[in-house]
Amino acid sequence: MRKLAVFGNWKMNKLLGEARALAQSLKAGLAGTTGPEIAVFPPSVVLSAVARELRGTPVGVGAQNIHYEPGGAFTGEISAEMARSAGAQYTLIGHSERRHVFGETDQWVNLKLKSALEAGLVPVVCVGETLQQREDGATREVVQRQVQAAFEGVESAQAAGVIVAYEPVWAIGTGKTATAQATQEVHAFIRSLLAGAFGEETAQAMRIQYGGSAKPANAAELLAQEGIDGLLVGGASLDADSFCAIVTAAAGQAQQ
Ligand code: PGA
């Protein structure tokens, strides 16, 4: 069985003191938790402080974004290597807010994925359709384009360590969750794309998370679906109790 991955994307929230306090609460709330792989993605400016708080705990740390170049004149950006040296083990790649608010292209997502792999970070590649695209019946087409572009030129051996997060854009931060059934179908479709690119064995080993208004009330139902291998949690990860409750739901699932 694939190990469930429960990740918290803090987005542009938490000042230094708040970030430390949340990390301390997670440390206390999740001490001794076994089963799911757990990580939080704080803003890069507090990443090293959060990583320090969480050292030696079951909670890993990741960056929300990286640039694909290793260094140079890219004002305001951070490289994969920098994120890693600040304590990140993971990085989100192509989150929908990066794509839709900041104009990140499929090609950038591909370059960032390769850069993350080169630096030894575990990439979490986010894909998902907008409401308009879903209403137009273009969900599969969009997801296919995003997945294929993201993994262009990536070898099977490297792809095996990549996590994909399916996040329908209309479900992010809206309180609307895709039904477990509809989500499962898209996950199966993504896995079939991965199988086509990397072979069945690699595709079966890869984890596909769901993201979009995941919360304690729906976590268990989502995680019970075959092929949903974890959750990428935004809003509900900003509160220690709700994030811990989601991890607990995943731990319960992992034991079944
Ligand atoms: P949400 O965000 O849980 O607040 O919908 C999820 C995400 O954007 O990763």
Domains and CATH numbers, the chain: 5-254 (3.20.20.70)
Atom of ligand 1 minimally distant from the CA of 97 = 8
pLDDT at 177 over 90: no
- Cross-strand bridge partners of residue 232: 7, 211
Q: Which of 67, 104, 167, 187 is catalytic?
A: 167
Q: Find how far residue 41's CA is from the centre of its chain.
A: 9
Active site residue 200: no
pLDDT at 254 over 80: no
Contact 59, 27 (CB under 8 A): yes
Candidate of 124, 127, 167, 243 to mutate for ligand 1, largest count of ligand atoms within 8 Å of Cβ: 167
- Better pLDDT: 149 or 179: 149
Cα separation, 248 vs 216, whole angstroms: 9
pLDDT digits (tens, 9 = 90+) for 213-224: 999 999 999 999
pLDDT of residue 248: 96
b vs e for 45-74, b when ≥16 Cβ sit within 10 Å of the residue's Cβ? Answer: ebbbbbbebbeebbbbbbbbbbbbeeeeee
CB-ligand 1 contact for 216 (6 Å cutoff): no
Contact 91, 63 (CB under 8 A): yes
Atom of ligand 1 minimally distant from the CA of 232 = 9
Identify the band that residue 180 occupies on the pLDDT scale cut at 50, 70 and 90: confident
Identify the band that residue 134 occupies on the pLDDT scale cut at 50, 70 and 90: very high
Residues belonging to the chain: 256
CB-ligand 1 contact for 212 (6 Å cutoff): yes
Q: Which of 37, 53, 67, 95 is catalytic?
A: 95
Instruction: Tell me which residue of 2, 35, 8, 1 sits closest to 214, measured CA to CA.
Output: 8
Contact 139, 183 (CB under 8 A): no
* For range 154-163, the mean pLDDT: 96
Nearest residue (CA) to ligand 1, atom 6: 234
Active site residue 67: no
CB-ligand 1 contact for 126 (6 Å cutoff): no
- Say if pTM beats, i.e. exceeds, 0.85: yes
pLDDT of residue 255: 65
* For range 79-99, the mean pLDDT: 98
Q: How high does pLDDT run on average in the chain?
A: 96
* For range 87-96, the mean pLDDT: 98
3-state secondary structure of 114: helix
